[in-house]
Amino acid sequence: MRKTVDEERLLLPAQAIPLLRSQLEEAVEKLRHDDPDVDAWERVSLSVVERTFGKHTRNANHFGCSVRNPHDTEQSAQEAHVKHIDSKKGMLRAFIKELEIIPPFRPSIDITRQGVFFAGQTIIADIRLAELRALVSPEFDFRKLIRLCEELNTVSREECYFATAMLTRGLLDHVPPVFGKTSFIEVANNYAGGGKSFKDTMHQLENAARKIADSHLHMLIRNSETLPSAQQVNFAPQLDMLLGEIVRITRAPASVRP
């Protein structure tokens, strides 16, 4: 019997614990109570908890539940914010201990599926999507980028590999202005803000992902065909590095952006 998508995508404890600890290390309690980064931290933390235990589990519902009361002074609002974050971090610490002591059940993978290559993961990680949704920029509207990422995840789960390749190419064509460029080949060749490893990874997207998509888009009908496989169109690690850099530079002060 085929497992549901939500079951297949749950993180293993070895994957979840470092992510939860990373959220614990962020000093959001030191931010102002109305800082947008506070909401972003809560969104990302909730996404990690949901990916660890499941969206409708007791742990996810408990972490996602918040009660906010109006405050008369800035001081009382800030004190309530500190207590609120302390409570959330206490839950994260408890979740880590729970994972270390009693790891949650993980269903076996249905190896009869062609798309088993994607089992337990998506093209775009939920935590990265949460970060994109939380971005605020005076220059760029990220709604189309987010939608491209969401549709990439949808078509990959449904084993629509032509669409996966084509949406990957569309994403590459969409993002260069964020890096101060007009084409993705310029990003791969000339953007220096991510270091050598980032540049090498962007060349993989330009030279492999784009060419694979182009071959499926432009090849005329022939008397014999082979169809793309999940392995052929999976550029999840490279795309994650690309999107991670978009998140980083958008959060950075305007004076140091491309």
Same domain, 150 and 237: yes
- 144 lies in some domain: yes
Same domain, 174 and 92: no
State pLDDT tens for residues 89-123: 999 999 999 998 877 665 554 434 444 444 435 79
Residues 6+ apart with CB under 8 A from 166: 213, 216, 217
- 127 lies in some domain: no
By the 8 A CB rule, do 70 and 63 touch?
Answer: no
- 112 lies in some domain: no
In whole numbers, what is the pLDDT of the chain averaged over residues?
Answer: 86
- 175 lies in some domain: yes
Residue 224 DSSP class: S
**Domain hosting residue 145, numbered range:** 139-256
Q: Which of 172, 165, 128 lies closest to 150 in space, CA to CA? A: 128
State pLDDT tens for residues 52-93: 988 878 888 889 887 666 777 888 889 999 999 999 999 999
> pLDDT above 70 covers what percent of the chain?
86
- 134 lies in some domain: no
CA separation for the pair 166, 210 (Å, rounded): 8
pLDDT at 101: 85
Threshold 0.85, pTM exceeds: no
- 202 lies in some domain: yes
Overall number of domains in the chain:
2
- Dihedral of alpha carbons 210, 212, 216, 218, sign: positive
**Between these two residues, 42 and 101, which has the higher pLDDT value?**
42
State pLDDT tens for residues 223-236: 999 999 888 999 99
Please enumerate, as own/partner, the contacts of 62-69 that have beta carbons within 8 Å and a separation of 24 or more.
62/91, 63/88, 63/91, 63/92, 63/95, 66/42
Largest Cα–Cα distance in the chain?
75
Same domain, 78 and 177: no
| pLDDT, mean of residues 113-141 | 76
CA separation for the pair 15, 122 (Å, rounded): 14
| End residue of a domain, out of 50, 73, 101 | 101
| Tokens encoding 88 | 């959330």
